[in-house]
A = this chain, B = another copy of it.
Amino acid sequence: MKLTERLRREAENIWERIFNHPFVVELYKGILPIDKFKFYLIQDYNYLVTMYKCLSLLSAKADYKTARVTLELAYLDATTEIENYNKLIKKFNLTIDEVTKYEPAPTNTAYMNFLLSTCSLQPLIEGLTAILPCFWSYYEIANYHKEDLMNNPNEIYREWGSVYLGKDYIKIVEMLRDLVDRIGLDYSYERLKYLFLLGSRYEYMFWDMAYKKESWPL
């Protein structure tokens, strides 16, 4: 069994709960209250910025074959994805300048700092493993709710979700999994498992944060 399959199996319980989280279910059914989605979107901005920074930090640690992948992802993030993001928030009458005024919620803050400190201070394989649940679970979520997605009456949600079933996105997930499978082979499995589970937990908690429109306790 490949390393990423093994990691995926360890996280099965968490991923099942992700697939069935009300935010995810309602989003794919097209019945998620718009204010919850807007909250998610606003939180996602800082996450997008964090992700290209993490991928850049990993590229600086990588040989050029690995850097081809991480740099491509980082570049896509800072260009296409941020452009798409701009178009999307415009539909909610938001601009990037407004979005940046919102403070990251506790779970988002915790997740971003987990990714940043791992990608900055730990070896390449640890960072790759930490970012994997994010990329991978978005595909699996879309695949799990494929039928709901096709019948999704909310055009914005339908378009949003369809991206994660597109060829380009599937290729991204495969490239990342290949990197982890290749580079993680001789690395401490326990450590990679810890990071993969933590990333998976944060994915669940991120959806939950958005559903509850989480704020700081003080």
A-to-B contact residues, CB < 8 Å: 13-14, 17, 49, 52-54, 56-57, 59-61, 63-64, 67-68, 71-72, 74-75, 78-79, 82, 103, 106, 109-110, 112-114, 116-117, 120-121, 123, 194, 198, 201, 204-205, 208, 216-218
Q: Are B106 and A116 in contact (CB under 8 A)?
A: no
Which 4 A-B pairs rank lowest in CB-CB distance, beginning with the nearest? A110-B110, A113-B113, A56-B59, A116-B117
Chain B residues with CB under 8 A of A109:
110, 114, 198
Nearest CB in chain B: distance from A80 CB, A: 10
- 20 A-B pairs within 8 Å (CB atoms) are namely A17-B218, A49-B64, A53-B67, A56-B56, A56-B67, A61-B121, A64-B82, A68-B75, A68-B79, A71-B71, A71-B75, A71-B78, A74-B75, A103-B194, A110-B113, A110-B114, A113-B117, A116-B117, A117-B120, A204-B218
**A121 & B120 in contact (Cβ 8 Å cutoff):** yes
A61 to chain B, nearest CB (A): 8
Known: A114-B113, A117-B113. A52 touches B64 (CB 8 A): yes
Chain B residues with Cβ below 8 Å from A198 are: 109
| Bound complex: CA A198 to CA B194 (Å) | 26
With known contacts A14-B218, A17-B218, A121–B64 Cβ distance under 8 A = no
Residues of B near A116 (CB, < 8 A) are 113, 117, 120-121
Cβ A56 vs Cβ B71 within 8 A: yes
**Contacts of A72 on B, CB cut-off 8 Å?**
75
Residue in B52, B67, B120, B208 whose beta carbon sits within 8 Å of that of A67 in the complex? B52
Given contacts A14-B218, A71-B71, 11 further A-B contacts (CB under 8 A): A13-B218, A54-B60, A56-B59, A59-B59, A67-B78, A74-B74, A103-B194, A109-B110, A110-B113, A117-B117, A201-B217
